[in-house]
Chains A and B, each alone.
Chain A
Amino acid sequence: MRKRTTAGGVVFNVLNYAMLSVLTICTIYPFLNLLAVSLNESLDSLRGQVYLWPNSFTLENYKIVFQNDALYGATIRSIARTVLGTALSLICSVMLAYTLSRKEFFLRKPINLIMIVSMYVSGGLIPTYLLIKNIGMTNSFWVYIIPGLVSVYNVIIIRSFFDQLPEGLIEAGRIDGANEFQTLFRIVLPVSMPVLATITLFVSVGHWNSWFDNYLYNTRDNLNLLQYELMKILMQSTQQVTSNATGSVASESLRQITPQTIRATMTIIVTVPILFVYPFLQRYFIQGIMIGAMKE
């Protein structure tokens, strides 16, 4: 058999490794650069260029950001939203998905129809806004949690996972006299870790990253989230000050550091939690995505 490790093959390999390395660097460099800026003295960043390493190291920027009441409160609210929103959403979605995976459930078909149609027909931005306003959910923390509590897409992914579990699993529970809740929480969920990990990741990242509902529904500063505060600073520095995007952040305590440094510091603050969670769930979510993709 001929060995085909030709000169062309070697060139291809070298180019391929080089190209993918460049791509990887292009992806990670902006984050590393902002990390360096956030750890560099604010005035020094103005003077000289910071690339990968801070010129004069300091943690002062983080201290200043967290000492700002608005940003500290926003951090707490963002964490609360993410934890509470993810937990509630997961419990509700899992329950609905479980009932839909039970073939004998007499409302299975109508509920399926209601869910699928809702994926394609939507009232649109303004009618939804007016609804939320009319039911008194504007200017409240719950607008972050209730409207997105059950995502049809997630329910479908979880249900497809339940569907492929062996039938005997549930029957065994039935024989042991378990009721539906016990069957779900004690028998089905413990063997559903891959899909639960995937959905947890998606939902929590979604909550953590949200800002538009904050912008649209909550005009009071005492309900702002971290992403929204970052968005306001971003808009201020691009001189695109909309009526909503002014206010609290430009307070005295933050004047000590430049907007550039505040932006870098806050970017790192909102990005780091994701970087901590995602690698641990990585091996699960690929599996989860494939289930979702096949269902699509």
Chain B
Amino acid sequence: MNAVPRQSLWKKARSQYQLLIMAVPFVLLIILFSYVPLWGWIMAFQKYTPVKGIMGSEFVGFDNFVTLFNDDRFLLVLRNTLVMSIMSLVVGFVGAIALALFLNEIKNAAFKRVVQTVTYIPHFVSMVVIANIVLTFLSPDGGFVNLLLMKLGIIHEPVYFMSKGPWFWVIHTLTLLWKELGWSTIIYLAVIAGLNPETYEAAEVDGAGRFQKIWHISIPGLMPTATMLLILSLGSIVNTGYESQFLLGNQLTRDYYEVLDLYAMNLSFGSGQYSIGVALSIFKCFVSLFLVLSVNKLVKKAGQSSLF
């Protein structure tokens, strides 16, 4: 009974062999680097040692997860991850929308272009360079910020900014803001540009001022896009990077900068607890999957086009 579709499949494969050549090798590559590592999840249920390998290590059920969830350090690291991604999310959002609105009010095209071109630059610069700039400027040893604050009489001796735990969160947030602020306005500027100019003209005729037009037309016009982007980024709240924390942090701020991925690395490479490191990765994957799916539902409910 199956012979007919199977033969037609074979026929299709033969007639589309060129497309197959163009697709299959790369799909295999995606499978190799995205799906094959899932095999490593078995480690989370074992007492894994590199010597015995996955095939030889003994199974321990959910013990590693129990250990992980009872680990105070894990809660601390989870806190750091959430605090830093929520801070960056909120500050980044408000900053991007505000900057887009202000840029939109600039009538001088050349000036606008210069501001845009310059503020896009940090987005393209590596995190290593950004960290280098931040550490140089905040250095207690002749750093620009310390010199400035001392000249203004706000402080009397240099402050070692990068040694103060909770400050790390603020410095980290401001660093990412500085890096991405200009870049993140692109989408909002495009939305504002797409708003109906007649609405603005009508408002002008009715005597609306600058602020009233921003408040009653531009901001409501941005809201659908902004809400959508906000909801979407909630889905990746545990999936934020670790490069910036790795580069900006030091031993003194470790309790504040260490995020999930860095902790997983530390557990595995530092103390050889690969199994717990992988358990942490699994936890992270499931939380972010749950978030993405709920967010997708939320978007669907909001009547917008869904993610998939």
List the interface of chain A (C-beta within 8 A of B).
1-2, 4, 6, 8-9, 12-13, 16-17, 19-21, 23-24, 26-28, 30-31, 33-34, 49, 92-93, 95-96, 98-100, 102, 104-107, 111, 114-116, 118, 120-131, 146-147, 149-150, 152, 179-181, 184, 205, 208-212, 227, 230-231, 234, 237-240, 260, 263-264, 267, 270-271, 274-275, 278-279, 282, 286, 289-290, 293, 296
Contacts and interface: CB of A to CB of B under 8 A. Distances in A.
A102 B23 CA distance: 11
B232 interface: yes
Contact of A95 (B26, B127, B181): B26
A123 B27 contact: no
Interface string B20-58: 101111110111111111111101000000000000000
A286 B117 CA distance: 12
Interface in B253-294: 261, 264-265, 268, 274, 277-278, 280-282, 284-285, 288-289, 292
A290 B186 CA distance: 9
Contacts of B131: 234
A96 B36 contact: no
Given A16-B106, A111-B27, A289-B187, A130 B178 contact: no
Given A27-B178, A30-B136, 11 more contacts: A2-B207, A4-B207, A19-B102, A23-B181, A115-B30, A127-B39, A234-B131, A234-B132, A240-B250, A260-B136, A263-B132
B205 interface: yes
Interface stretch (B11-19, B63-71, B215-223): B11-19
Contacts, number: 234
B267 to A, nearest CB: 9
B140 to A, nearest CB: 12
Given A17-B111, A130-B40, A296-B232, A124 B132 contact: no
A194 to B, nearest CB: 14
Given A16-B106, A30-B133, A23 B124 contact: no
A28 B178 CA distance: 11
Contact of B126 (A6, A115, A270, A278): A270
A107 B23 contact: yes
Of B106, B210, B280, which is in contact with the most chain A CB atoms at under 10 Å from its CB?
B210
B282 A282 contact: no
Contacts of B186: 286, 289
- Chain B, interface size category, equals 35 or more
Of B133, B186, B280, B289, which is in contact with the most chain A CB atoms at under 10 Å from its CB?
B133
Nearest to B211: A12
Contacts of A231: 128, 247
19 contacts: A16-B102, A17-B106, A27-B119, A28-B121, A102-B19, A105-B23, A115-B30, A120-B292, A121-B35, A122-B37, A124-B37, A128-B40, A130-B37, A131-B40, A234-B131, A234-B135, A240-B251, A275-B121, A286-B190
A260 B132 CA distance: 10
A278 B103 CA distance: 21
A267 B129 contact: yes
Contact of B133 (A179, A237, A267): A267
Nearest to B286: A121
B105 interface: yes
Contacts of B40: 123-124, 126-128, 130-131
